[in-house]
Chains A and B, each alone.
Chain A
Amino acid sequence: MSFLLALIVLAPALGALVLILLGRFLGKRAVFWFSPATVGISFLASLIAFTTFKNHPSVFYLFPWISVGKFHVDFSLLWDPLSSIMALTVSGVSFLIHIYSVGYMGEDPGFRRYFAYLNLFTFSMLLLVLAPNLPMMFVGWEGVGLCSYLLIGFWFDRDTAADAGKKAFIVNRVGDFGFLLGIFLLFTLLGNLDFQYINSRAASLPTTAATAAALLLFLGATGKSAQIPLYIWLPDAMEGPTPVSALIHAATMVTAGVYMVSRLFPLFARSGLALEVVAWVGIITAALAATIALVQNDIKKVLAYSTISQIGYMFTGVGVGAVSAGMFHLFTHAFFKSLLFLAAGSVIHAVGTQDMREMGGLRRKMPITFWVFTIGALAISGIPGFAGFFSKDQILAQAYLHSKTLWTVGVITAGLTAFYMFRLIFMTFYGEPRGWKHAHESPPVMAIPMEILALLSVISGWFFSSFHQWLKPLGYIHLEELAHERELILMGVSVGLALAAIVLAWWIYLKRKRGLRTGFLYTLLTNKYYVDEIYEALFVVPYREGARAVSRYFDAGVIDRAVLGSGKLTLEGGRLLSFLQTGLLKDYALWMAAGIVIALFVALRGLL
């Protein structure tokens, strides 16, 4: 069994290694076949493990890593309901996206490098998901951060892409700073960093310590899952190739934060405050991101803000105690959001631009992409029958039980989600063509993965109850009961809002042909509440200018001058004493006479 698990993780790693070292000698065909195959193997292995392996949870030891005194960390893999679900989703989606990338990145000269990084990413994500303790998870955590840096900045000769990659890594690093401090605090508190040990001992921790540790870890989660305050890097991350956005910035990496919180749920539960923070940060991020998405004109930016918003939902789900609801939304979101990105990718691939104002009327030219995109949009808007409906409503129901305001914000955001999704559809697929000359449907190698994902985003919604049962053995999985008719009312409200939003979008963007253009609200939203500018002014500029000033005035000015000054001191001292050397004999005789007199005086002082 441990061989199977090792295979899940190491297959993509081997793929990445081979591509990096021997990439030059592999032909295009070989790479296109080899790289998806490795991820395929890992998907099959996790499928087999998922079906055959029953006695959860169990840790499989591979080899020792660090051991200093009582601090031991080993390379081992944990297989339990939570990690099995994640492993399956990650490897599955990654496999589909690898196939899609064959079509999308086929002509790009750097395709070997691209597939190597994609494999490396899958390896790091699987490592993160299957890690049995916090340091191992941190290895995967930073590994995915590295791969997102490499892939965002893939077309490095474009300055915007290089900046975006650097920004992503640094913002993630800020999050990881919190994550690290959380790990250290937990180590000093408990002495051992295994998840099972932490969860079992969480109850005995003092509340303040538990809250501090939980909040620090949550800072790391906000960095990786792009929540307030560290979400600014995700919109810029759209500089990377679209399949990368689909895989990393929709399905897998950004969900790592949710997975970590659900993995350490007992610790968060122990400090009630931390859970509240998680819930509220989640819902506020969801609302904020949804509002921004309303006015974005870049198709990928819309989807990026939508991802931030949906992850906010997941955090809300976990925050109100419904871990299974949160995780289920993560599960379904992985499918329909990656579908939306891939469809957007095929549109961009066909039309060559990402700006929706230059699209329109693509329905006839790209029927498959259109239908697949619509399914995804329906799923995300929470229309009954599609996956989003089941998972989002479950979260809203649990949120309602937790606090009314949470629910109201959630429902409104759901409405906004429906609005901006269908605004996107109407602007790209309906109306008359604007700006693009010719468009062609994507080749099968891109179309098939989209169709599979479309299928999944429909049927995956129906398995919530079995999903819930599957997670039960974790112990901290429970759902409050809601009176049946109350549940129906809530459902009715949210579906009604969604439909109303769709109609509104239809009326604005198809009937009147032009949306909101001016006004204070519009400028505020298009500039993303000026958050980037605020961060720049608050952190980046003072740090850079301060460092430059210190470097010029303090480092060179004070310290260096002090050092050189001591050198000059001796020179000046020497010059000072040289006035004694007048060159006149008489003066020298005078010093001598004076010396004699003093000596005599000192000698005779005893006698007198």
Chain B
Amino acid sequence: MLDLAFWLLFLLIAAGLGIFLFASEEDKSVVSLVAVFSALGGVFALMGYTFLGGIYVLLYAGAVVVAFLMVAWLVSGRSREGRSIKWAFFLIFISLGTELSLIFLGSRSVFRRVSTSVSALGELFLGKYLYVFELTSLLILTAVVSSLVLMRRRS
């Protein structure tokens, strides 16, 4: 049962990457990545890193890809109605669905190959790796500021 799910996800990722590499339009390739990342989140969940799986799906499939999608449309200069939008939503819906179900299964110790607890993770971040944690936050701050500066209209 576990291997079946894994190979299913493997296929999904491979297909997604195939589309990503050879899609003629940019937004098609960007959208295909949503599937890839959510499937990857699934794999993490299968491995037992359910928390990570969840983060992956939220961060990548949700925020990053969508942001890129928006810039992609900005690039092509016209808002994209028509078939591809619907097609995109359908894909996103499918991947989210499978992902959520896997997370539920994961949490129910059926595939518990790895025992991880989010609280242990928290202690780690605020204990041993406090500096790392602070540094990354600083990094993110500079990234945001710099992108704002970059985007300022030159006087």
Direct contact of A and B (CB under 8 A): no
Interface residues of B (CB under 8 A from A): none
